[in-house]
Amino acid sequence: MAKSQSKKNIALLSAWIFLVLLTILAYSYNPYERKSTSFEKDLFAVENANQTISRIELNGQGFTNTLEKNGNSWSVNQEYLLDASMQQVFFKLLEQISIQRPIVGENSAKIKQNVLDSGVQVNIYGNEGLVNSYTVGGDFQAMRSYFVKGEEVYLIQLPGYQSYVAGIFEVPENDWRDRVVFEGIWQDMVSLKINRPNKETVEFKYDDRLMRIQNQQADTAEVMNFVERFNYFFVDQFLSEDHIALQKKESFDKAGIIEIEGLDKDKSLRLELFKNPEFNAYLVHINGNEWAAIRNERMEKIWIELEKL
């Protein structure tokens, strides 16, 4: 029996991240009027999150992620830089989440226990201490998110839009991380070398204030346009060791090696690329250590532009 498409694809972004992002981008349109209520709808909202928050602890089932401000930057578990796009989406959500209604009646105790048993404990801190603390859970299929605080259970919303708010609190460590793997531009390079199977090695070197292709003639502007593709070069997703693509990495063929020698040796980069037509992304081995994925269409554009030089 053919394998399901979901097992053939490397999931680059979870569906709920996409839904949350669409919600944030579309938030300026709100067709609903707020009705007066007897509860504080903004109990969980954080005003001016970027200035208010200094640390967020997310303690889930089998994971703990701590997002912490260090000067002008944010870190993930004191080890990685926080991805700027993820931070923007998350903080916008924290500013705009609202209580749709409290959960009362017979279902309240059941929902509360389910959230406490399988949800994510959230602790938000500011410079002067704890800002808020609650537990997040929900039902992705039903697009329902619940926050539990003390004895109370609340159904949570982004006003005017249906989205799985709880999903972003469940993001694994790798998806919080900054995806840039070369922290620099072409002026930070000594050389860029690309080696592909059954192709001649192509090398670019910094010379007289430009990157120049070696051992062949090419238009300088086109060369620079190509090299600039590697400015702040990023992967599309870091992969955990148990990812299905890594479990099947023996079925991937070698697709090339990209090497960047940096002026700062600590920025030098070696990417080993592997491809399997049944997957929608290249496997990437970074400096012989971590594994990541780059979408097929991104890499194919790079190969096409390289062939045109």
Tens of pLDDT along 52-111? 999 999 999 999 999 999 998 999 999 999 999 999 999 999 999 999 999 999 899 999
Distant-in-sequence, close-in-space partners of 107: CB < 8 Å, separation ≥ 6: none
Check whether 17 has a pLDDT greater than 90: no
The secondary structure element, H or E, covering residue 41 is none
* Domain positions in the chain: 9-176, 186-308
Check whether 226 has a pLDDT greater than 80: yes
Question: Residue 54 corresponds to which tokens in the numbers above?
Answer: 């200094």
Mean pLDDT for all residues in the chain: 90
Check whether 185 has a pLDDT greater than 70: yes
What pLDDT score was predicted for residue 29?
38
Give residue-wise pLDDT tens across range 205-215: 999 999 999 99
The secondary structure element, H or E, covering residue 6 is helix 5-8
How far is residue 103's CA from residue 258's CA, in Å, rounded to a whole number? 55
Residue at token pair 């926080």: 82
What pLDDT score was predicted for residue 9?
55
With residues binned 3-state (H G I as helix, E B as strand, rest as coil), the percentages for the chain, rounded to 5, are 30, 35, 35
Strand arrangement of the beta sheet that strand 237-238 belongs to: 210-213, 202-207, 189-195, 253-262, 269-275, 281-286, 290-295, 237-238
Which of 172, 113, 112, 164 is CA-nearest to residue 140? Answer: 164
What pLDDT score was predicted for residue 16?
44
pTM of the model: 0.84
Give residue-wise pLDDT tens across range 130-163: 999 999 999 999 999 999 999 999 999 998 778 8
Which value, in Å, is the radius of gyration of the alpha carbons in the chain?
Answer: 23
